[in-house]
Amino acid sequence: MVDAIRDGDFLKMMECVYRGVAIDYETEDGMTALLRSTVESDLESNSRNREMGNKKAVDAVSFLLDRERNAPTIDKVTKLGSALSFAAWHGRTYAMAELLNRGAPIGQRVQNGKTALIVAAVSGKIDSVRLLVERDA
């Protein structure tokens, strides 16, 4: 599962889950399948436009959260934060919207008591800040 998460290989992740590995499995550095899915497009080395990359990330988030069985815990907090704060830090607004639409807690506090809004502001991700404010963060 560690290799699958590191590589962003969702088919391999699902194979691991079907073999009994927990979907919320956390690597030593705090990465989970759901956190990885929010930045999945970072692995793309081609020159696709940003919107296409974000669309791919949304598809990965949706795929994981919309599962009837073995869906990840949307409010799980690791060393890297929650899926929402992680996406906010990376400026992945489409993934953030999908997480919020599926019930991610907008005011959840992660490392040092920071919310996703504070994480987005500190990282300089204005679009992430705007989305969170529009959603009443």
What residue ranges define each of the domains in the chain, with the CATH number in brackets? 2-134 (1.25.40.20)
Tokens of 24: 């919320």
Alpha carbons 120 and 21: distance in angstroms, whole number: 31
Report the pLDDT value the prediction gives residue 52, as an integer from 0 to 100. Answer: 47
What's the CA gap between 65 and 62, in Å, rounded? 5
Whole-number pLDDT of residue 44: 42
Integer Cα distance of 60 and 26 in angstroms: 17
Residue 7 reports pLDDT greater than 90: no
**Could you report the per-residue pLDDT of 23-69, keeping only the tens digit for each?**
999 999 999 999 998 987 544 433 343 444 555 556 788 888 988 88
pTM of the model: 0.85
